[in-house]
Amino acid sequence: QVQLVESGGGLVQAGGSLRLSCAASGRTGSIYAAGWFRQAPGKEREFVAAINWSGGNTYYADFVKGRFTISRENAKKTVYLQMNSLKPEDTAVYYCAAAPGYSLTKNAANYGSWGQGTQVTVSS
């Protein structure tokens, strides 16, 4: 019922920054939380950050260590991921997701809608 489209990925040098966007459409009234996940080649998809859709409270994976910031703009039905001080190990396909009935969850199983992903490549 919810469609998500990511954008903003690209190639950046280590230490640089990127801002990812995810536009939501459809039955967005059912969204309680939005999250960002990433998946590198040969690895499992892992949680990056989540935000409560209405309240704006946030939750981050430990490896982010203050480098990433998740935010949302309700009027535009868009969630963002600001990534600073990027490292080569951040290279992955980044996915946004929407969770009905859960807030600030890192469990991928709780997310019912997923975007197609956007590639982020960090060179050393």
- For the cut 90, the answer to whether the pLDDT of residue 29 exceeds it is no
C-alpha 122/C-alpha 102 separation (Å) is 32
60 CB-near residues (< 8 Å, 6+ apart): 48, 49, 68, 70
pLDDT at 31: 86
Give one word for 42, left, alpha or beta, with left for phi > 0 and alpha for psi -120 to 50: left
Summarised one tens digit per residue, pLDDT across range 68-110 is 999 999 889 999 999 999 999 999 999 999 998 887 899 999 9
Q: Is 18 helix (H, G, I), strand (E, B) or coil?
A: strand
Sign of CA dihedral 51, 57, 59, 64: positive
Six-digit token string for 117? 């992903």
User: pLDDT at position 72, please?
Assistant: 94
